[in-house]
Structure 1
Amino acid sequence: MQQDNQKKVSLDRDLGLWSALSLVIGTIIGAGVFVRQSAVLDDAGSTTMGLLAWIAGGILTLTAGLTIAEIASQLPQTGGLYVYMEKLYGKLWGFLSGWMQIIIYGPAMIASLGAYLAILLSDFFGFPSSWNIPLAIGTVIAVGILNLFSNRYGATFAIITTLCKLVPVGALIIFGLFFGKHDAFGQSISEVHATAGNFGVAILATLFAFDGWILVANLGGEIKNPRKLLPQAITYGILAVLAIYLLVSFGVYRAIPAEKIHSLGTSAIPYIANQAFGDVGGKILSIGIIISIVGCMNGKIMTFPRIMYAMARRNQLPFSKTLSYLHPKSHTPIFSTVGELAIVALMIVFANADRLSELCIFTVYCFYVMAFVGVFLLRKRNAGKKRVFSTPLFPITPIVAILGSLFVIVSEIQSDLVGVLTSFVFVIIGIPVFYYQSKKHAGEPDNGPAEEEID
């Protein structure tokens, strides 16, 4: 009887456009906009080229988002990229994209956010550095507990943290635009002229700051009218982040000279806050960054377990029966969430999460390229059928998205071949798991996303 009741439990489809939009913006904007200003400027060589790098990164991300939006409007089920890869290329490719995200990429991203958040909390409250690991695990668990309840709580928290993080962002923009005394265009960095001008590397740095926009697609089964709202959330969310990043960069360049930004490194924005608003301003900015990271972490903790849940429904993972369980009251995948948090905690304690997340960037972009190519495949398969959303300027937009992803892939190969090969190992480990689970559950019904789940 208990098993029959569980079969009737499904994910709540009650997330509207504002919730989805807040998740896109909140999941993208973490600490990157605050700490990467110097890195982008150093690689670009001048403020003009730095602004162009942010624009280029935003445009490439937008082309990617518009391409995926068309796919999402046709395949708006829980699981996002995992579902797209399965529908486009078969179960093995879908499994490998999901495996990589739930075992390494997602947990590593969450763990790195937790580790950085712990450092900020220790600095803010004066805790000893020995507290960093317990603080990191504690904050991850706290946000994770929130996501064990109805998805309305996580979505509401996403809206609140997104609004809160826009306060320090807005303060930086206003101060730079109206009180800055320097020209945002034409400033160069004399100290690094010998190595500057690598515009491609600067774009690469901005692309990493834009990453995370696709994660809202993991909630396709919980969004109202996902065929319409998913494309809107992805498109408007990326446009909003692009505008925010560009305005923040412009404000920073107006506030202090390029040479000063270069010399300060990651401390450039705290320096501006202290100069503009005094010690109180620095504290407020720190609170803003902390809230920004918590909001980013919430988006990732809310979305990655949905991939694990979707895979478990197909019996593709060990302990699938447990991982596919939905709580009868909250209608959330509580064991998938707990399982994901357990991997995160292990990474915080035993691994360098930043390094692991860097390793997986290459693999993620390999799957991105395949997904972008998939928009051509879907148009061929569904020729003559009406689409709720069509990628603008097709085929130029998906071609630009493909070329942008190939740029990331080639750059990663050139800069970190060992890391690239290591990331392949993580993916290959999933192949025997897939075939073992397939053999073990051969003949059983596939509980994957069906059309009745999304109509």
Structure 2
Amino acid sequence: MKQQKQVSLDRDLGLWSALSLVIGTIIGAGVFVRQSAVLDDAGSTTMGLLAWLAGGILTITAGLTIAEIASQMPETGGLYVYMEKIYGRIWGFLSGWMQIIIYGPAMIASLGAYLAILLSDFFGFPSRYNALIAIGTIILVGILNLFSNRYGATFAIITTLCKLVPVAALIIFGLFFGKQGALGQSISEVHQSAGNFGVAILATLFAFDGWILIANLGGEIKNPRKLLPQAITFGILAVLAIYLLVSYGVYRAIPAGKIHSMGTETIQVIATTAFGNIGGKILSIGIIISIVGCMNGKIMTFPRIMYAMAKRNQLPFSKTLAYLHPKSHTPIFSTIAELIIVAIMIIFSNADRLSELCIFTVYCFYVMAFVGVFLLRKRNPNQHRVFSTPFFPITPIIAIFGSLFVIVSEIASDLPGVLTSFIFVAVGVPVFYYETKKHGIVEAKNEDAPIEEDDDQSDSSSVKGQN
């Protein structure tokens, strides 16, 4: 049988598609269900708003730092590629391994599980069908991403616009019809059991997580050296503005004590109070769409890491996983493999717990990537940068300390989970060396500077089919 003709990823995602993916991948259910948790830990509405602002600022500094690296390495794989080129193949592999085997599938499975609960409540399905509903929904979104990336990108734009409707309704109601003072309300009854401002910031950082996933599509974005930094920067800024406005609106609409007592039902109470039972239903639809959009972004981006690793022959069945469909130009087998892992997690494990365990490891790699900005500048002092991190070196230093804060907080609060996350990563070490030896790949001692590539040609190496 003749080998397949040269096939490459389609580089046809523009700024609006990239922006929608950034916003849609970040905004899931967090802004709707974490209002009470952040307020409880912060202790007052003023400190709650400051916690959301601090989390957003830390995320922006992280995004601006990564944007400089992304502008130099506009390739499919994102963080995996950055780690490989800055620190060497083994570190790149381990960052990718953690994302495709545990973190990515766990995040998708968690979204699916929560979405199934909402769908069951909305339509009155028995809870025993939740696992089937979660898997079915994930498969439907996954099928969409087996076609050209234009369909996934278009779906991201539609869901992002749809999810902004209930967000706008909450903001408008709170700002113009709320009767509470948004600032200065305290929660005296929970002061003794409340956490602290640092824990509140930590809760918001988890709600901001997902901003870096657009970098996994670096090989499919038009003029990525320019558009990728723009999408990351403006996307995070938009989410920060949305989170602050929603939180302010919530504090205006309901007294702080009631927000504490209602917990994750706070937003539902506001919608029902403002718009009646129909309003509550409409908000539920908005949250469902929000989660589906977030899920779509993750299903679209995480398989690209697997594809990029398979192209380098670093995974079992690399030849199959690196296959691109000749018509859709998408990594269909990597997408299917990721969906299978997700389904297994939904059936046999607690996906929420697994995703929590991997937060520590993700932030360890974030810190290394942020430090990488300094290393790249030192190695290539004269290199032209399409995008440079503003206020360097202050911005990456803030990003580094923000990530270290998450790491230290995780160690202090969940040491067994931290040790478990190390095990997940360690399992990848023998896999890496086995595949490296199998394919005769020589480990480079130092992956120096980013490889300059033409925007229209990067990541267009051929992927051949099976004989």
TM-score by length of 2: 0.95
2:453 to 436, 451, 454: 451
Cα deviation for residue 161 of structure 1 reads 0.1
1:271 to 261, 269, 272: 269
Matches within 5 A, 1:398-437: 398-437=396-435
1:25 to 5, 19, 23: 23
Query: What residue number does 1:3 align with?
Result: 3
Cα deviations by residue, 1:195-252 (Å, 9 ceiling, x for unpaired): 3360000000000000000000000000000000000000000000000000000000
Rounded to whole Å, the distance in 2 between the matches of 1:281 and 1:22 is 25
Query: What residue number does 2:356 align with?
Result: 358
Query: What residue number does 1:339 align with?
Result: 337
Cα deviation for residue 444 of structure 1 reads 9.3
Query: What residue number does 1:294 align with?
Result: 292
Cα deviation for residue 4 of structure 1 reads 4.3
In the alignment, residue 103 of structure 1 is paired with which amino acid?
A: I
2:128 to 127, 130, 142: 130
Cα deviation for residue 190 of structure 1 reads 1.2
Matches within 5 A, 1:322-333: 322-333=320-331
Query: What residue number does 1:58 align with?
Result: 56
1:47 to 45, 48, 52: 45
Query: What residue number does 2:366 align with?
Result: 368
Cα deviation for residue 451 of structure 1 reads 2.9
1:175 to 173, 176, 182: 173
Tell whether the 8 Å contact from 1:144 to 1:341 is kept in structure 2 after alignment.
yes
Tell whether the 8 Å contact from 2:73 to 2:451 is kept in structure 1 after alignment.
no
In the alignment, residue 320 of structure 2 is paired with which amino acid?
A: T
1:303 to 301, 304, 307: 301
Any idea what SS the aligned residue of 1:451 has? coil
Cα deviation for residue 385 of structure 1 reads 1.9
Any idea what SS the aligned residue of 2:324 has? coil
1:445–1:313: structure 2 CA closer, same or farther, 3 Å change rule? farther
Query: What residue number does 1:110 align with?
Result: 108
Rounded to whole Å, the distance in 1 between the matches of 2:71 and 2:37 is 36
Cα deviations by residue, 1:356-392 (Å, 9 ceiling, x for unpaired): 0000000000000000000001111221122100000
C-alpha RMSD of matched pairs (Å)? 1.5
In the alignment, residue 454 of structure 1 is paired with which amino acid?
A: S
Cα deviation for residue 354 of structure 1 reads 0.1
Q: Larger % of helix: which?
A: 1
Query: What residue number does 1:72 align with?
Result: 70
Tell whether the 8 Å contact from 1:77 to 1:449 is kept in structure 2 after alignment.
no
In the alignment, residue 329 of structure 1 is paired with which amino acid?
A: K
List runs of 5+ in structure 1 lacking aligned partners: none
Cα deviation for residue 194 of structure 1 reads 1.5
Cα deviation for residue 332 of structure 1 reads 0.1
Cα deviations by residue, 1:101-130 (Å, 9 ceiling, x for unpaired): 000000000000000000000000000001
In the alignment, residue 371 of structure 2 is paired with which amino acid?
A: V
In the alignment, residue 431 of structure 2 is paired with which amino acid?
A: V
Whether 2:195 is the aligned partner of 1:193: answer no
Rounded to whole Å, the distance in 1 between the matches of 2:284 and 2:451 is 42
Rounded to whole Å, the distance in 2 between the matches of 1:95 and 1:193 is 45
Cα deviation for residue 454 of structure 1 reads 2.4
Query: What residue number does 1:394 align with?
Result: 392
Any idea what SS the aligned residue of 1:71 has? helix
1:389–1:443: structure 2 CA closer, same or farther, 3 Å change rule? closer
Query: What residue number does 1:86 align with?
Result: 84
Rounded to whole Å, the distance in 1 between the matches of 2:255 and 2:62 is 33
Matches within 5 A, 1:224-239: 224-239=222-237
Query: What residue number does 2:465 align with?
Result: none
Any idea what SS the aligned residue of 2:325 has? coil
TM-score by length of 1: 0.98
Matches within 5 A, 1:187-266: 187-196=185-194, 198-266=196-264
Query: What residue number does 1:157 align with?
Result: 155
Rounded to whole Å, the distance in 2 between the matches of 1:2 and 1:41 is 62
Count of aligned pairs between the two proteins:
452
Tell whether the 8 Å contact from 2:62 to 2:396 is kept in structure 1 after alignment.
yes
Rounded to whole Å, the distance in 1 between the matches of 2:115 and 2:2 is 41
Tell whether the 8 Å contact from 1:78 to 1:449 is kept in structure 2 after alignment.
no
1:10–1:201: structure 2 CA closer, same or farther, 3 Å change rule? same
Query: What residue number does 1:282 align with?
Result: 280
1:236–1:443: structure 2 CA closer, same or farther, 3 Å change rule? closer
Rounded to whole Å, the distance in 1 between the matches of 2:316 and 2:2 is 21
Rounded to whole Å, the distance in 1 between the matches of 2:253 and 2:410 is 33
Rounded to whole Å, the distance in 1 between the matches of 2:187 and 2:2 is 67
Any idea what SS the aligned residue of 1:332 has? coil
Tell whether the 8 Å contact from 1:57 to 1:203 is kept in structure 2 after alignment.
yes
Rounded to whole Å, the distance in 2 between the matches of 1:295 and 1:445 is 39
Tell whether the 8 Å contact from 1:63 to 1:400 is kept in structure 2 after alignment.
yes
Any idea what SS the aligned residue of 2:287 has? helix
Rounded to whole Å, the distance in 2 between the matches of 1:208 and 1:449 is 32
Cα deviations by residue, 1:291-336 (Å, 9 ceiling, x for unpaired): 0000000000000000000000001000000000000000000000
In the alignment, residue 205 of structure 2 is paired with which amino acid?
A: L
In the alignment, residue 458 of structure 2 is paired with which amino acid?
A: I
Query: What residue number does 2:462 align with?
Result: none
